[in-house]
Amino acid sequence: MRIVFFGEALVEINNTTKYATYGGDVPNTALYLSRLGQSRAISVSYATAVGTDKLSLSLLSCWQQEGIDTSLVRYLSTKFPDLCYIETDREGHCYRHFWNKDNAARYYFSRESSPLEIALSNYNYHAIYISAVSFALLTDEAKAALLVLLEKYKIDGGKVYFDNRYRPHMWTPQQARYWICQLLPYIDIAFIEIKDEQRIWGTSFDIIERYSHSNCCELVIKQYSDHPISDLKALHTQMKISVIQPIGQTTDYIADNAFIAGYLAGRISGKSIRHSLNLGKELTLKVQTHSKAVIPAAAMRDMM
């Protein structure tokens, strides 16, 4: 199975080391799935735009070393990746500070047909993973172009996987609601963080109704204690719904990347939802024992 991730290119600096690392929610999810896919016949590609500077080229080299195909990456000589400073407190919670809102990935669709457009039009991939972060970074014109592309891709039999991570510095709740509504009809599997859903919609009460009416097949809800699941409106639906409680001691986005990768590795390789949930939880617990966004491959060798 061939899957492509579309998202940002991000250079991370944190308060635990003086060195820069290469991260971002979408590329890190792709990285973990690439590792897990080695024994599961899953091939991972990443589509983004980077600069021609040394940091950009080093970032690509890191992805390639992880077995991620980068043939869909665009190079823009006047643009650069995002920069993120991450603070981690004693409880393991992360606080992020971003620079360079004019990042290279924002302009991925701004020229002639992009490599991703050509690849999806030719149905070179069985599935595409898009985060709300991926969508938010694009210009409105690029968002519209991507929606047109996804409409044809779905007709051809492609699958769309989505997570609702909300970054308030990237767009307003009103903008997020509008564009996510346009994206909903194409989503097959959705990963929903209740807190982000409430930030976008103001409530999580109609979450199941919203996604079931869009013909979403699977809904994975990340549930936290201060947002009880009883607030959700239950409906009779054919959609498969999974609700997961906090895993381990932290509930940050770094752990979410691992969970999503584990779940997708299971489902893409034909495993049951229960097996896939357990695979996601197992990888999450491994990630939480390390301070870095990406754990060494050796730390998860038994899962690869």
Q: Would you say residue 282 lies in a domain?
A: yes
When divided into structural domains, the chain yields a total of: 1
Tens of pLDDT along 21-78? 777 889 999 999 999 999 999 999 999 999 999 989 989 999 999 999 999 999 999 9
Q: Would you say residue 141 lies in a domain?
A: yes
Q: Would you say residue 302 lies in a domain?
A: no
Q: Quick one: average pLDDT of 81-99?
A: 78
Tens of pLDDT along 204-219? 778 888 998 888 999 9
Position 96 pLDDT exceeds 80: no
Q: Would you say residue 82 lies in a domain?
A: yes
Going from the C-alpha of 111 to that of each of 8, 75, 204, 226, the distances in angstroms are 17, 11, 38, 45
Going through the chain in order, the beta strands assigned E by DSSP cover 2-6, 10-14, 21-23, 43-47, 49-50, 74-75, 82-88, 94-99, 127-131, 159-163, 189-193, 218-222, 240-244
Q: Would you say residue 113 lies in a domain?
A: yes
Give the DSSP H or E segment for 175.
helix 173-183
Query: Which tokens sit at 129?
Result: 């993973």
Q: Would you say residue 288 lies in a domain?
A: yes
pLDDT confidence of residue 232: 53
> What band does 300 get if pLDDT is binned at 50, 70 and 90?
very high
Q: Of 227, 238, 234, 286, which Cα lies nearest the Cα of 261? A: 286
Query: Which tokens sit at 105?
Result: 């990935």
pLDDT confidence of residue 17: 62
pLDDT confidence of residue 18: 60
Q: What global pTM score does this model have? A: 0.92
Helices assigned H by DSSP within 233-295: 253-268, 273-287
The single residue listed with the structure tokens 């004019």 is 102
Q: Would you say residue 303 lies in a domain?
A: no
Q: Would you say residue 176 lies in a domain?
A: yes
Q: What is the CATH number of the domain that holds 280?
A: 3.40.1190.20
Residue ranges making up the domain that contains 170: 2-295
Tens of pLDDT along 227-277? 554 445 555 568 898 888 777 655 566 688 999 999 999 999 999 999 999
